[in-house]
Amino acid sequence: MLGTTFLLAIRSILRHKLRSILTALGIIIGVAAVVTMVTLGQATTAAVQKQISALGTNILQIRPGQGFGRGGGGPRPPDFKQEDVDAISRQIAGVSAVAPQAQSTATAIYEGANWSTTINGTTEAYFQVQPWPLTAGRSFTRAEEQAGKAVCIIGNTVRTNLFRGGAAVGERIRLGGISCDVIGILSTRGQAGFGGDQDDVVIMPIKAVQRRFTGNRDIRLMLVGVDQAYSSAVVQSSITDLLRERRNITGSKDDDFNIFDTKQISDTLTGTTTLLTSIVTAVAAISLIVGGIGIMNIMLVSVTERTREIGIRLAIGAVANEVLLQFLVEAVALSMLGGVIGLVIAQIAVVSLAPVMKVDYIFVPQINLIAFGISAVIGVVFGYFPARRAASLNPIDALRHE
């Protein structure tokens, strides 16, 4: 009986194709919107986590000032010194390595090509704190670091713009007014969520940058690697106490430096992305309710149109439950049809929008199954009342209906 009822439901839907599509339009839009938003939201979250992980895990970034900028409008807080780096490395438990950084900008020149880039002076600890593999060449040695030798490791963006994809290791480039031997090529990292192009960089020994670019021994950034066995929050608190003491910050005075935990940044950005996705998805889900109401309205119209048909069925022996099942199956089939079309549209939308948003396409089977299941449930919920009304008709009154 169920099979026959299903065939009758499909036949009734196909009898009024345009009306059926318009009726299911709310479900189609709702399912497509919900699946698209959730899928793109998860893809964005994955992209954010990938970008943060590129900065390294269990890393504390320490900068002078109360934020990423100077902040406050007062005098610029003093930069760090090498003695601060040594103190953190020696006195704080749980610190695996400390990488100081001195930064500048310069125009890199090779033959007829030039490219403006960031010069990042650091030590060999930089590659311990945040592993960044090389695709060619080597890192600078400790002897080159101590001597401040003019050697450099370039990012992929610099290599592409200067060497046009050709071999770079062993060549000599000019950075501002000095010559520098290229000894290595960094692997590609791509865009950072808030840090620009990570591959647009030239890494040199910190003493070379301090002597030839910045002209001082100041350190603008320290990257602190935290041992996995220690809590980053505890290590961060210990570093804060040490730096306050070294920078003569007493009492209730605010810190003139800031410490950012990359894990906290990742959790914050991920939580924000998830929240925004949930809000947009909830708004899109309203379309499902609207679609369910549309199905209920059309099914009520259908019951009115087919009153004589219902009366004939009841008069020749059909029971009320069979009539109820017929109209209920029609509502569910109509809703599920809208769900299938919505899923197809959602996948097309995700495939089209993912490259525009610069995120990877991710197929999430769970949300697709859930959305399809919800469309079926909506058919049952909003189709029950019209079906119940059809089943409760009096056969004599139904046969008299004009």
Domain end (from 221, 255, 289): 255
H, E, C per residue of the chain: CHHHHHHHHHHHHHHCHHHHHHHHHHHHHHHHHHHHHHHHHHHHHHHHHHHHHHCCCCEEEEEECCCCCCCCCCCCCCCECHHHHHHHHHHCCCEEEEEEEEEEEEEEEECCEEEEEEEEEECCCHHHHCCCCEEEECCCCHHHHHHCCCEEEECHHHHHHHHCCCCCCCCEEEECCEEEEEEEEECCCCEECCCEECCCEEEEEHHHHHHHHHCCCCECEEEEEECCCCCHHHHHHHHHHHHHHHCCCCCCCCCCEEEEEHHHHHHHHHHHHHHHHHHHHHHHHHHHHHHHHHHHHHHHHHHHHCHHHHHHHHHCCCCHHHHHHHHHHHHHHHHHHHHHHHHHHHHHHHHHHHHHHCCCCCCCHHHHHHHHHHHHHHHHHHHHHHHHHHHCCCHHHHHHCC
**Same-domain status, 99 and 236:** yes
Q: pLDDT at position 108, please?
A: 93
Q: What is the pLDDT of residue 318?
A: 66
Residues 283 and 245 in one domain: no
Q: Are residues 235 and 365 in the same domain?
A: no
- Asked whether residue 151 is domain-assigned, the answer is yes
Residue 199 lies in a domain: yes
Q: Which domain holds residue 195?
A: 78-255
364 occurs within a structural domain: yes
Same domain, 42 and 129: no
Same domain (yes/no): 242, 281? no
Predicted pLDDT at 152: 94
Do 116 and 159 fall within a single domain? Answer: yes
Shared domain check, 242 and 163 = yes
Domain boundary among the residues 222, 255, 288 is at: 255
Residue 162 lies in a domain: yes
Number of domains in the chain: 2
Name the domain boundary from 205, 232, 255. Answer: 255
Quick check: is 308 in a domain? yes
Q: 229 with 365, same domain?
A: no
Domain assignment present for residue 29? The answer is: yes
Same domain assignment for residues 243 and 343: no
Same domain, 132 and 233: yes
Q: Please state whether the predicted TM-score (pTM) of the whole model is above 0.85.
A: no
- Identify whether 260 is part of a domain: no
Give residue 392's pLDDT. 73
Q: Which residues of the chain have pLDDT under 50?
A: 68-72
The reply to whether 32 and 96 lie within a common domain is: no
Q: Are residues 251 and 271 in the same domain?
A: no
pLDDT at 69: 47
The answer as to whether 391 is a domain residue is yes
pLDDT at 74: 60
